[in-house]
Amino acid sequence: MELREYMSVRRAYNLVRQETESAYRLTFEEFAILCRLDVMEVPVKTSDIAEYQGALRPTMTHRTNHLANLGYIDRSEGPVDRRNIVCSISEKGHEYVAELAKGTRSKIPVGQPLARTSAERICKYVDTMGSVYCTAGQLVMLALYMDDDEQSTITSLVERLGLLQPTVSMSVGSLTKRGLVARPHIEGSSARSTFVVLTEEGRESIQVLVDKIVRLVVRRRPRM
């Protein structure tokens, strides 16, 4: 998977999530669980979903409980070991994941990676992307990693990531304290314009995540 494809989907879903009523708003990880169950088309053990997302059991229990309470998945005891909870997507969940995938697809601007793909393909991308956890701060660092010669401000990062400004500002503040980004003032720019750049330590830190993303492989539909 190309990094630009990953960022294109993440930005689009962030915009969809902002427009979703809070009661039905899902994290990207929860959206990915629905996509996995939709793509797999068979019940999956909670432990297997946790392994797929690299999440601890309590975290996965919280995510699947949330999805179950909304009626998007069904949870039942395993047929052999009752301690193994099995999850399957409900009809409501199938309809909702299709809606989210379609909405995500619609938020990708013309000319951006995956702008011409299908909602079904977006679902497969999200399923694959769900195996790599990424925080808001890491999304900021990924955007800066892709900058090349572009100079980023808080405002431009908000636009590029589809996140709310307070989220981006807090992330940049935290990353600055950790020495992963810097905010130099560029000569000749407005006194109010402070740019955000990756430090050498930040570039080395985010390279690990970049390597994981580019190794992701999205399954294609088998040829007939």
Report pLDDT digits (tens) over 181-199. Answer: 998 866 555 545 579 999 9
Per-residue pLDDT tens digits for 159-176: 999 999 999 999 999 999
187: left (phi over 0), alpha (psi -120 to 50) or beta: beta
At 24-51, the pLDDT tens digits run 999 999 999 999 999 988 888 888 999 9
pLDDT of residue 224: 30
Those residues whose C-beta lies under 8 Å from the C-beta of residue 189, and which sit 6 or more positions away, are 195
> Domains, the chain, ranges and CATH?
3-129 (1.10.10.10), 136-214 (1.10.10.10)
Give the model's pLDDT for residue 80. 57
Of residues 218 and 192, the one with the higher pLDDT is 218
Q: What is the pTM of this model?
A: 0.89
Residue 222 confidence (pLDDT): 42
